[in-house]
Amino acid sequence: MPKTQYYTATTLDGYLADEHNSLDWLFEVDEGSEGRADESGVTPFAAFFADVGAFAMGATTYEWVLDHDALLDNPAKWAEYYGDVPAWVFTHRDLPPIPGANLTFVRGDVRPVHEAMTKAAAGKNIWLVGGGALAATFADAGLLDEIIVGVAPVTLSAGAPLLPRRLTSKRLTLTAMAQRGQFAYLTYAVAPPTTDQPSSPAPA
């Protein structure tokens, strides 16, 4: 069965980015030999993404990707990373599209968007890139199946939280653990809410 997966990295104290939306902390952490390509030239992320048929991100994540890789000036980089896999960007603002990228800008309820993504994914998984507020809206709607998080030996004390929702152990089941250099990768199955909860609008 295809899954909707929130795959990301976090600091030890549960932040995705610092208070300035910087990920500089992340690039200082060594994934070791476990994070490098194997004998066939496939990295762990490439193996994960090979099973992805559609992905989504919030506006802040999209803007960070644009700026970090200067994608408006170098749009070919997007294709190098993601090929022609369709992506959805949740935003309440007008954002510049990346030339040639298969992008859809959306807002509001995640449920009809998830339905469209599922159809486009054609039996493959859906990846929620981030941020945490967007992943939380999918969890609210019972549309998040799995969390895969690489925990780094870093603390920031403030910033963008991993998942700004209360999810108790009744909804989370640890299914796998792995070490890649300094990262501890944890995989959790996510159960749907036990009571009806309205979906929150996706963050701008």
pLDDT digits (tens, 9 = 90+) for 46-98: 999 999 999 999 999 999 999 999 999 999 999 999 999 999 999 999 999 99
Domain ranges of the chain: 4-190
Distances (CA, A) of 95 to 20, 63, 103, 140, 158: 19, 8, 11, 26, 27
For residue range 124-136, list pLDDT tens digits in order: 999 999 999 999 9
110 has a pLDDT exceeding 50: yes
146 has a pLDDT exceeding 50: yes
172 has a pLDDT exceeding 70: yes
Distances (CA, A) of 55 to 88, 92, 102, 104, 121: 6, 18, 11, 10, 9
pLDDT computed for residue 33 by the predictor = 82
199 has a pLDDT exceeding 60: no
185 has a pLDDT exceeding 70: yes
Q: What is the architecture of the domain spanning 4-190?
A: 3-Layer(aba) Sandwich (3.40)
pLDDT computed for residue 202 by the predictor = 55
198 has a pLDDT exceeding 60: no
